[in-house]
A and B are shown apart, each in its own frame.
Chain A
Amino acid sequence: MSSTETSRTPFDPAVLFKAVFLAVVAVFVLVPLLATLLGGFKSLGELRVNPFGLPRRWEWQNYADILFSSRYWQLLRNSLIISTLTVTLTLIVASMAAFTFAHVRFYGSSMLLSYLTLGLLFPAATAVLPLFIKVRDLGLLDTYFGVALPQVAFSLAMSVLLLRRFFKDIPYELLEAALVDGCSYIKFFRYVTLPLSRPILATVGTITFVNSWNAYLLPLVMLNTDALYPWPLGIMVYQGEYSSEWHLILAFITLTILPTIILFLLAQKHIVAGLTAGAVKG
């Protein structure tokens, strides 16, 4: 359908239909987002009579109050700590395992890999109650690690698969030559495999980060102290406290999804690559 380029044609119903269709979907997606952003700039009174339009008076104070509150930054800090822990551990643990599965032949290799990749199937909710008890027994309840370690475990299956597929493309001859020259597997991993694999490491890292940054159920179960809450938990508490003061809640929502949107714009290539690599083969 390259008809859009032939704009000399005076009227093409297909193009018109397409434009209208895309516009309708765009409005469907955009309106809730824009209303949230703009709603944060309104007073509660104005929000009620004018929820769609531009604010008549821009209430910068709504946003300023949140930006100058320690609460907001504490939530972001907690989320950042948990997500960074999760990503770092996932990348280390998964890349080591993926390297072994890609380059070291041993008895039971395929069985262990299948065992690990079964994890793609398991619903996290099934494990969450026993996981709570286990984390409690390990003394990790109400700690960042109590959230991060299960998150790492649940992200391993996909990460190992993606990394292994990439590692396998590094020619075995390269490893062989290095080994003959007296290089060890571990050095090869550290000085050849990892540097060559930056794109896939970035992809796996970004996906893991987004998942961890947005996660709700695990932190909800593992954390009891407000001071440790990541932002999805914090924003639910905030909403509970300010139940119908929607102008403040909307400003708070906008400011908490802002980091996500910035990350997305910076790393969209890696995010999309990760999703489609996990799904589409070849």
Chain B
Amino acid sequence: MARRAASVSAMDVAGELPQVAERGPSWDGRLTVLILFLPPALLLFTLFVVLPIGEAAWYSAFNWNGFGRPTNWIGFDNYRFVLETRAFWLALRNNGLIIAVSLAIQLPLALTLALMLAERFRGAVALRMLFFMPYILAEIATGLIFSFVYDGDYGLVASIWRSFGAEPPHLLASTDTAMLAVLIVVVWKYFGFHMMLFIAALQGLDKSLIEAARIDGATRSQALRHVVIPLLYPTIRLSVFFAIVGSLQLFDLVMPLTRGGPADSSNTLVSFLYNNGISRMRVGYGSAIGVILFTICVTFAFTYKRWFMRDE
């Protein structure tokens, strides 16, 4: 079980069991530490993370508004209701789109920038910090900044449109363009994070391998393709993992931009959960969405771990 323990770093750490042998001089001392030091973490974690997830599964079997005790047992009906809602499938499709854009645009962009900025030259560090800045900003602030950028009356996009003499569009108010607008913000916000991961990895590479390849006559791009990129595979796999798990849970960014609208066209799974479960306190229905999200995340993590990160 320890070895199967999901997450990336968790696996890694659980693998190297404590080599501290049973040579501690005082067992009593250890017992005191065990009694005092472990329970707070385990208690908080169990109470506020593990139990609520179990309870979500339990509540999802009820038609319940969150007041009193849940009594109206309806079995799997909430799941059926969720799966019959068109908005759910739209949200799922949107999460898929976010993942696709992250993998097809964001990560290649991040990798290209990392390869450029991992070297030392004047301004490299400043550019790294600049590109990382959007990641530090709160999602809410980012969303609001871009709702200004996209604003049909005052926004930047509108003024570019007007300079061509055209009537500016309201990108966020149209079901055709709202999701596209959100996707651009996703790239703006998160590419710097992946760039930093790649830079950290590049700086940790063994330079002599690259030099050896160059001495053996490899051109720069050959060395890149056959030496550097393969050496980065572990980081790339990790970056893909983060991008997918992050995309599945995207919420804060969507709220200030569109709140999932218009007509549910830009919902993500979590904004769908929020709009249905929390705003209207449909606890059973919302919990069913939560459990579906949980299942997708955990299934993905285990599968990915198994297929792509076996050797790590």
| Nearest chain B CB to A91 CB, angstrom units | 12
Whether B131 lies near A25 (C-beta < 8 A) is yes
Q: Which of B48, B129, B286 has the most CB of A within 10 A?
A: B48
| Nearest chain A CB to B191 CB, angstrom units | 8
A260-B138 contact given A114-B2, A126-B290, A150-B48, CB 8 Å threshold: yes
Whether B197 lies near A125 (C-beta < 8 A) is no
Whether A116 lies near B45 (C-beta < 8 A) is yes
B136-157 Cβ-contact flags toward A at 8 Å (1 or 0): 1111110011101101011110
A257-B138 contact given A35-B148, A129-B59, A133-B66, CB 8 Å threshold: yes
Q: A66 at the A/B interface (Cβ < 8 Å)?
A: no
Chain B contacts for A1, CB-based, 8 A = 115-116, 119, 220
Whether A32 lies near B156 (C-beta < 8 A) is yes
Set B139, B154, B155, B235: member contacting A280, Cβ < 8 A: B235
Q: In the bound complex, what is the Cα–Cα distance between A268 and B298 (angstroms)?
A: 32
A-B contact count (CB 8 A): 344
Set A44, A125, A153, A217: member contacting B44, Cβ < 8 A: A153
Chain B contacts for A281, CB-based, 8 A = 9, 12, 234, 312
Whether A239 lies near B283 (C-beta < 8 A) is no
Chain B contacts for A253, CB-based, 8 A = 141, 144-145
Whether B18 lies near A109 (C-beta < 8 A) is yes
| Nearest chain A CB to B267 CB, angstrom units | 13
A117-B10 contact given A36-B145, A280-B201, CB 8 Å threshold: yes
Look across to chain A and name the residue whose beta carbon is closest to the beta carbon of B18. Answer: A105
Set B17, B24, B140, B153: member contacting A236, Cβ < 8 A: B140
Q: B96 at the A/B interface (Cβ < 8 Å)?
A: no
A114-B14 contact given A127-B49, A280-B238, CB 8 Å threshold: yes
Q: B255 at the A/B interface (Cβ < 8 Å)?
A: yes
A83-104 Cβ-contact flags toward B at 8 Å (1 or 0): 0000000001110110111111
Q: B25 at the A/B interface (Cβ < 8 Å)?
A: yes
Q: B26 at the A/B interface (Cβ < 8 Å)?
A: yes
A interface residues, tally (CB under 8 Å) = 114
| Nearest chain B CB to A13 CB, angstrom units | 13
Chain A contacts for B49, CB-based, 8 A = 119, 122, 127, 150, 153-154, 156
Q: A270 at the A/B interface (Cβ < 8 Å)?
A: no
Look across to chain B and name the residue whose beta carbon is closest to the beta carbon of A39. Answer: B148
Q: In the bound complex, what is the Cα–Cα distance between A185 and B38 (angstroms)?
A: 13
Q: A76 at the A/B interface (Cβ < 8 Å)?
A: no
Query: Which residues of chain B from 1 to 57 have a CB within 8 Å of any chain A CB?
Result: 1-2, 5-10, 12-14, 17-18, 20-26, 29-30, 32-34, 36-38, 40-42, 44-45, 47-53, 55-56
Q: A16 at the A/B interface (Cβ < 8 Å)?
A: no
Chain B contacts for A154, CB-based, 8 A = 48-49
Q: In the bound complex, what is the Cα–Cα distance between A195 and B129 (angstroms)?
A: 30
Chain A contacts for B17, CB-based, 8 A = 109-110
24 contacting pairs across A/B (C-beta < 8 A): A32-B146, A33-B145, A44-B154, A48-B159, A104-B33, A104-B34, A105-B22, A106-B30, A110-B2, A117-B10, A120-B10, A122-B294, A123-B297, A124-B249, A129-B278, A130-B59, A133-B66, A149-B44, A216-B139, A232-B140, A264-B133, A275-B196, A279-B242, A282-B204
5 smallest beta-carbon distances between A and B, as pairs: A117-B10, A153-B48, A214-B138, A97-B41, A114-B5
15 additional A-B residue pairs with CB within 8 Å, beyond A214-B252, A217-B270, A275-B196: A1-B116, A22-B116, A51-B154, A99-B37, A100-B37, A103-B20, A120-B8, A125-B249, A128-B278, A185-B32, A189-B37, A216-B255, A232-B252, A244-B153, A249-B148
